[in-house]
A and B are shown apart, each in its own frame.
Chain A
Amino acid sequence: MAQPVYSEAGSAKGLSLLPAPPAHLPLVEGSNSSHGLASLFSSWRRGTFQRGVHPAPHKGTLDQPIKRMPFPRKLVLPLAQHIGKPSVPLVAVGEEVARGQLIARADGALSAPIHAPADGVIEAITPRPNTRGAWTDAIVLRVYEASTQEVRCGEPLDLDTLDHTQLIAAIQQIGMVGLGGAAFPSHAKLNVPTDKQVHTLIVNGCECEPYLTCDYKLMREWPAELLAGIRIALRASGATRAIIGVEDNKLDAMAAIRPHLPADGSITLQVVATKYPQGAEKMLIKSLLGLDVPSGGLPSQLGLVVHNVGTLALLGRLLPRGQGLIERVVTLAGPGIKKPGDYWIPFGTTLRSILDWAGDPECKEREVILGGPMMGQAASTLDIPVSKGTSGILVFDKRMLEPITKQSWACIHCSECVNACPMGLNPSQLGMLSAKLEFDEMAEHYHLGDCFECGCCSFVCPSHIPLVQQFRAAKAFLRERKPL
């Protein structure tokens, strides 16, 4: 495994000019962030947030390493795999491309380029189903059967010689986006506006969704790359310290990372309780630092920026080599998968080719979920490709579908949802208001806007009321009605 080009000495030099974090923030590894009395118990109490749920982990293939899936015959690369403007194709139909070659450029500041995940020939540039199932423009690449795993494109970069603007540009050029699921262009998140200051980089290693293990395995297998990525992100964002937050069920990952931590304490590892949704930005900040991100606000208001471990590990791997983001680790799991595990899967690989290779043909009446089971979306067609934001592909069969869909009851006010909502909302009341279509009341008096759709309320609801879906519909209604 290659050592990162970006040196530790360089980071220390680069950091010395930056402001120190506020004194009230703890800088001790493993310390709990609670203030006052609660800090007395920090030695035995893992940092955590209030409420939340404990779904069964279902993380079955932890002991296996990350494997590779063979190239499919065809790759479908939507031009909009990220939040922001779709990228602009640079290739024509019939053109031959090499693995790693730039095939679509970023369109403006909030956009990301696309690189070819395999050697092949451009077959079409035409609308195809994207990750959400909607038909949008995509580049269709026919893969050469002899395509190699080697990436020959890209010039190694000496990161020490780059100034801040060049660094941000380099991060954009490799097409890096948030791999946790949102696919927000990383360079845009790291490019902190000049009027704001970020003092702490939060590295999200929680992966609280059941079934998913891709981040866990990246932490375990690529700790050096992760640390390199953290140093790049520290420099790009101007933060002076990084805290890696890991749930206490990932001991192997922590053990792998610890030897790589610098002695100066600028990058620390902090253990948080295993609980869903620990990996949600606001929850993790609460668990690590005891701070509440204001309602409707962003972590940057508190001087924080949050990045996923998977994003930073790939950043640390690819940026020094100047290589584009062409594949990612995807967890394949669920009762309808015959070869469960974590695989490097090139972007553009369709669900159909993955399930032909790894799926269980016996599994009828199945639900294919993109992402985790709590927040992931069900795929409407198998023509949907893996894109930059796809962290997992789960195939559930009839047994898992029936218990929830069979019957529902009226709300019995059991208050389980209120005791589960990490945001402190009243899902029971919100659900009743949405049934009466009182969307304005929901937004004005019951904080609908604070719901980030983690699914805890629907998960616990004994009446099987699709609360989250009702809130999504209410939000969509309000969004459509109000011109932005």
Chain B
Amino acid sequence: MSMQLRASPHLHSGRDVPTIMRHVVYALLPICGFSVWQYGLSSLALIVTVTLSCLFAERVANKLSGTVNTLSDWSATITGVLLALTLPPAFPLWMGAVAGLTAVWLGKSLFGGLGHNPFNPALVGRAFVQAAFPTAITTWAPAFAPQRFTEFIPSSLTLPLMQPNDISNWVAANMVDGFTGATPLARWKFEHFVYPMQDMITGAASASTGETSALLLVLCGLYLIVRKFMDWRIPVAVIGSALLLALAFRFFGGDEYPPVHLVLLSGGLMLGALFMATDMATSPVSPRAVWAYGAIIGVVTILIRYFGGLTEGVMYAILFGNALAPLLDKYLQPKVFGARKK
């Protein structure tokens, strides 16, 4: 017989970090599945490569820092899957691996691992490859190419450290009606072309691997919200503020600004608002700070898109929000019960 001594409370809700992270991975799986159906082998290989490179980077970091094996907390898996979903489907696999290594090492391990990172690791990885490989990251491949399950998009299999293989012949061979190689937001910016809303909800528009179907993203996000693995206030604040601002611009600025559905359903806004901005480690904790954080991301996204050089901008908006999160927490503390008014 032995007497155990522990400090109260002696009960626990039963929830732990790996459970939360594992459910986020579950929620991302349908999105991965949909993108594989859309883009075939290339997409599958990209997701697998990037995830494995993140896991590899995490394990190497464990060894170097002498900590326990942290693969079991599933956070490196989330980073890998999310990162892959933000890359274009035709992205060369070796570049994807570079993105994964950068994401974990530069975005997470250097700061001390899970919970200590100020920026969303997946976005750090993506920001790195956006700067390093500007052409590859804006080269879009058509969805639903007829040969997608039997052959790779040529650029996927580019040899390491080489420029991406040219895909124009492949695109011509697999011609899908209406494919222009530009995202809906880019086409608006350069041609004032209004993409049909239906295509953007169901995933027919050119875009990153995992951001094409707004409907699917919302459904997967709802799963996490219902199971309480995600803070619903963040996507509501991000999408809500972006929507309000886009409506205001459209109302007062007229046709110079894009229609609201283009703003909401493309450029990774849904993916970012639901799965990136909600990253627990890099978002604030106190209620007012959470709302402010979401609103800032939404507003900055719109400002980048309308007045900046980039057609999208969700990534930088979230990184900006991440940077502000500790400050927001500091100045927007929760209201203390019975606090005296100063």
Answer whether A and B are interacting partners. Answer: yes
Is B162 located at the chain interface by the 8 A CB criterion?
no
In angstroms, how far is the closest chain A Cβ from the Cβ of B235? 15
B11 contacts partner chain A, Cβ-Cβ < 8 Å: yes
User: Which listed residue (A282, A416, A417, A447) contacts B339, Cβ 8 A?
Assistant: A447
Shortest C-beta distance, A56 to chain B (Å), equals 8
Choose among A378, A407, A416 the residue that contacts B10 (Cβ–Cβ < 8 A): A378
B290 to chain A, nearest CB (A): 7
A401 with B8: CB separation less than 8 A: no
Q: Which residues of A contact B4 (CB under 8 A)?
A: 365-367, 378, 396, 401
Task: Verify if B226 is at the interface (C-beta below 8 Å from A).
Answer: no
Is residue A55 within 8 Å, beta carbon to beta carbon, of the partner chain?
Answer: yes
Q: Judging by beta carbons under 8 Å apart, are B285 and A428 in contact? A: yes
Cross-chain pairs A/B with CB under 8 angstroms, 10 sampled: A292-B338, A295-B340, A367-B5, A375-B8, A409-B114, A412-B17, A413-B285, A422-B337, A424-B337, A464-B16
Known contacts A373-B10, A403-B12, A463-B16; A423 and B336 CB within 8 A of each other: yes
- A4-25 toward B: CB 8 Å interface, digit per residue (1/0)? 0000000000000000000000
Q: Which of A78-86, A88-96, A379-387 contacts B (4 or more CB under 8 A)?
A: A379-387
Q: Is there a chain B Cβ closer than 8 Å to A132's Cβ?
A: no
Whole-angstrom distance from the CB of B273 to the nearest CB of chain A?
17
Number of interface residues of B (CB under 8 A): 44
A428 to B280, CA, bound (A): 12
A434 at the interface (CB under 8 A from B): no
Q: Within 8 Å of chain B (Cβ to Cβ): is A191?
A: no
Contact residues, B1-25 vs A (CB, 8 A)? 1-17, 19-20
Which residues of A have CB within 8 Å of B284?
413, 415
Q: Is A418 touching B6 in the complex (CB atoms < 8 A)?
A: no
Tell whether A158 is near chain B: CB-to-CB under 8 Å: no
A468 to chain B, nearest CB (A): 7
Minimum Cβ distance to chain B for residue A458 (Å): 5
In the docked arrangement, what's the CA distance between A368 and B1, Å?
Answer: 12
Check B9–A455 contact: CB distance below 8 A.
yes
Q: Which are the 10 A-B pairs with shortest beta-carbon distances? A: A455-B9, A410-B115, A469-B7, A415-B285, A367-B4, A292-B338, A373-B10, A414-B280, A295-B338, A409-B17
A69–B3 CA distance with the chains assembled, in angstroms: 23
- Please, how many angstroms separate the alpha-carbon atoms of A64 and B15 in the complex? 33
Q: Which of the residues B10, B16, B116 comes within 8 Å of A369, measured between beta carbons? A: B10
A401 and B6 within 8 A (CB): yes
B329 interface residue per 8 A CB criterion: yes
Among B9, B113, B338: residue with most chain A CB under 10 A:
B9
B334 CB–A CB distance under 8 Å: yes
B333: chain A residues at CB < 8 Å are 426, 446
In the bound assembly, the distance between CA atoms of A459 and B339 in angstroms comes to: 24
Q: Which residues of B contact A376 (CB under 8 A)?
A: 8, 10
**Closest chain A residue, CB of each to CB of B230:** A414
Contact status B283-A409, CB under 8 Å: no
